[in-house]
């Protein structure tokens, strides 16, 4: 059995994949966040969820920046672990 941990690090890279500028379509975002599309768009309108970008100027297709989704998830986790009831 091989060890997939980089020799210069002590962390398993699969536990915290590095955020990237990869573009995600909605099905991937939904799997990562667990929220439905309509709720995501409500949160976007309130400034509480990353907005998608248009893939082509004037086109209909949109995608989300993976690093922005990771940041949102990390903030949600931090907020839910906070002792301040107003943060969640």
Residue 12, Cβ density class (10 Å: 0-12 exposed, 13-18 middle, ≥19 buried): exposed
Residue 88 lies in a domain: no
Across 50-76, b (16+ Cβ under 10 Å) vs e yields bebeeeeeeeeeebbbbebbbebeeee
Q: What's the pLDDT tens digit per position in 15-34?
A: 666 667 899 999 999 999 99
E strand spans, 15-78? 23-24, 53-54, 62-65
Residue 39 lies in a domain: yes
Residue 12 lies in a domain: no
The pTM (predicted TM-score) of the whole model is: 0.71
Q: Is the pLDDT of residue 13 over 60?
A: no
Number of domains in the chain: 1
Residue 28 lies in a domain: yes
Q: What's the pLDDT tens digit per position in 36-83?
A: 999 999 999 999 999 999 999 999 999 999 999 999 999 999 999 987
Residue 18 lies in a domain: no
| Predicted pLDDT at 82 | 82
Determine the structural domain holding residue 50 and report its residue range. Answer: 23-81
């Amino acid at each position: 059995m091989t060890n997939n941990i980089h020799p210069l690090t002590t962390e398993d890279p699969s536990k915290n994949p590095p955020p990237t500028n990869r573009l995600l379509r909605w099905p991937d975002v939904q799997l990562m966040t667990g929220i439905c599309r309509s709720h995501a768009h409500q949160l976007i309108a309130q400034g509480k969820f990353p907005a998608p970008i248009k893939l082509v100027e004037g086109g209909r297709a949109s995608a989300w920046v993976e690093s922005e989704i990771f940041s949102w998830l990390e903030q949600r986790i931090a907020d839910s672990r906070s002792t301040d009831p107003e943060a969640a």
